[in-house]
C-alpha cells in the first residue's frame, strides 16, 4: 500500500505544494536533506519586499534544489562521478593544486589516476559544486534520452508550424501610399484640401522611398520610425487619407490600402528546424516525467523549524 505526502511550505500564511513524495508502507526511502542554510538562502532570494516572500518563486527554487539533489544522488549511485571524463579532469586538476606544496616537499611524482583516486577517497567529488553541476546535467541528459530520440512525423511538424504560425511565416505587409511634407502645417492644409477637392494643393516634398510602399512592421520601424508605425497601425479605415503622421523625417499623409497576411515559410526550408524544436520539447517532457518518478524514491527532509 502506497502513501503520498506532499511538500507543504508556509510563507506569510500561504500554503502551497510541490511534487508528491512517495513512501511505501513505513519503509523510508533514501533521504534528501535540504539544510537550514540552503533553505534560508532560497527564501532570501524570494523576497519581493522587506517582509514579503514571492511564494511561487520560493516554491520553484525549493523544487529545483530538491531535484538537483536527487539527480546528484542518482549520478553517484550510477558511479558517473567515477566514469565522466570532465569530472575526472576537474578533480585531478584540483588535487594537483591541493597537494602541490606537499609534493614539492617530498618530490613525489603522482599519476593522474592516483590524484583521481585520492580525490574520490577524500569525497571531494561529493562536495565540489562544479562536479555537482556536471553530474546533474549528465543525469538530465541521460533521463531525457531514456526513451530514445523521439523524432516527429511529417504531420507533427506541419501541425507545429500551423500552431506557431507567427514564428514560421513571413510578417504581414502594410500596403499604403504616403505624401511627405517637411512642415506639419503644410501637411495639415493639404490633407483638408485633398479631402475636399480630391487632390493636393501644393507639391509635396520628395521622399526617398517613393509614394507607394509595401512593408512589414520591422521595415516600417526601420524606415520611418516606431512612432510612425504605432500611428499607422491605429488607422481604422482603409483607402482614406489621414494624417499628418510623424516620421523620423517629417510629416506624412497616409492612405492605408491593405494589410496582407504573411505567407507560411516554405515547409522544406523550416522542416529541420521545427523537427529539432519538437525533439527538444519531447525531451523536456520525458525528463520531467522521469524526474517525477525519481521523486517517489526519496524522502525529502526539510528544516522543519523553518517550514
User: What is the grid cell recorded at 297?
Assistant: 524514491
Residue 236 has pLDDT above 90, yes or no: no
Going by CATH, does the domain composed of 173-260 fall within 3.10.50.40?
yes
Residue 287 has pLDDT above 90, yes or no: yes
Residue 12 has pLDDT above 70, yes or no: no
Residue 66 has pLDDT above 90, yes or no: yes
Query: In this predicted model, what pLDDT tens digit does every residue of 30-52 receive, in sequence order?
Result: 888 888 899 999 989 998 877 78
Residue 184 has pLDDT above 90, yes or no: no
Residue 201 has pLDDT above 80, yes or no: no
Sheet of 212-215: strand order equals 212-215, 173-181, 251-260, 241-246
Name which residue leads in pLDDT, 40 or 21.
40
Give the rounded percent of residues in the chain with a pLDDT score beyond 90.
39
Residue 261 has pLDDT above 90, yes or no: no
Asked if 112 and 92 count as a contact pair (C-beta separation under 8 A), the reply is: yes
Mean pLDDT of 77-104: 88
**Cα separation of 73 and 204, whole Å?**
75
Mean pLDDT of 14-27: 44
Q: What is the pLDDT of residue 48?
A: 85
Within 8 A by CB and 6+ apart from 135, the residues are: 71, 72, 75, 76, 80, 81, 84, 87
**Cα separation of 157 and 1, whole Å?**
43
Mean pLDDT of 7-14: 42
Asked if 22 and 291 count as a contact pair (C-beta separation under 8 A), the reply is: no
**CA dihedral defined by 42, 45, 49, 54, rounded to 10 degrees?**
-60
- Average pLDDT for the chain: 84
Sorted by where each begins, the domain ranges of the chain are 2-139+296-306, 173-260
Give the rounded percent of residues in the chain with a pLDDT score beyond 70.
86
Asked if 253 and 179 count as a contact pair (C-beta separation under 8 A), the reply is: yes
Mean pLDDT of 286-305: 87
Q: What is the pLDDT of residue 171?
A: 87
Amino acid at each position: 500500500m502506497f502513501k503520498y505526502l506532499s511538500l507543504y511550505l508556509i510563507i506569510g500564511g500561504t500554503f502551497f505544494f510541490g511534487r508528491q513524495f512517495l513512501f511505501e508502507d513505513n519503509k523510508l526511502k533514501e533521504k534528501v536533506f535540504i539544510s537550514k542554510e540552503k533553505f534560508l538562502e532560497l527564501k532570501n532570494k524570494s523576497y519581493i519586499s522587506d517582509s514579503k516572500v514571492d511564494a511561487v518563486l520560493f516554491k520553484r527554487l525549493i523544487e529545483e534544489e530538491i531535484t538537483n539533489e536527487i539527480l546528484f544522488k542518482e549520478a553517484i549511485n550510477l558511479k558517473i562521478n567515477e566514469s565522466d571524463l570532465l569530472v575526472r579532469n576537474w578533480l585531478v586538476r584540483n588535487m594537483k593544486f591541493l597537494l602541490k606544496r606537499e609534493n614539492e616537499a617530498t618530490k613525489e611524482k603522482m599519476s593522474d589516476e592516483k590524484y583521481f583516486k585520492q580525490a574520490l577517497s577524500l569525497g571531494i567529488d561529493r562536495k565540489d559544486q562544479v562536479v555537482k553541476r556536471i553530474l546533474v546535467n549528465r543525469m538530465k541528459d541521460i533521463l531525457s534520452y531514456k526513451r530514445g530520440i523521439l523524432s516527429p512525423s511529417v504531420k507533427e511538424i506541419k501541425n507545429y508550424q500551423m500552431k506557431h504560425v507567427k514564428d514560421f511565416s513571413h510578417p504581414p505587409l502594410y500596403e499604403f501610399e504616403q505624401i511627405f511634407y517637411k512642415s506639419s502645417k503644410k501637411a495639415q492644409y493639404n490633407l483638408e484640401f485633398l479631402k475636399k477637392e480630391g487632390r493636393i494643393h501644393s507639391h509635396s516634398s520628395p521622399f526617398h522611398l517613393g509614394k507607394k510602399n509595401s512593408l512589414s512592421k520591422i521595415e516600417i520601424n526601420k524606415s520611418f520610425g516606431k512612432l510612425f508605425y504605432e500611428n499607422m497601425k491605429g488607422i481604422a479605415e482603409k483607402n482614406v487619407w489621414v494624417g499628418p503622421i510623424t516620421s523620423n523625417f517629417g510629416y506624412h499623409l497616409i492612405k492605408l490600402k491593405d494589410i496582407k497576411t504573411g505567407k507560411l515559410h516554405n515547409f522544406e526550408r523550416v522542416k529541420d528546424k521545427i523537427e529539432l524544436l519538437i525533439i527538444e520539447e519531447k525531451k523536456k517532457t520525458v525528463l520531467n516525467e522521469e524526474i517525477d518518478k525519481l521523486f517517489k524514491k526519496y524522502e525529502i527532509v526539510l528544516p522543519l523549524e523553518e517550514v
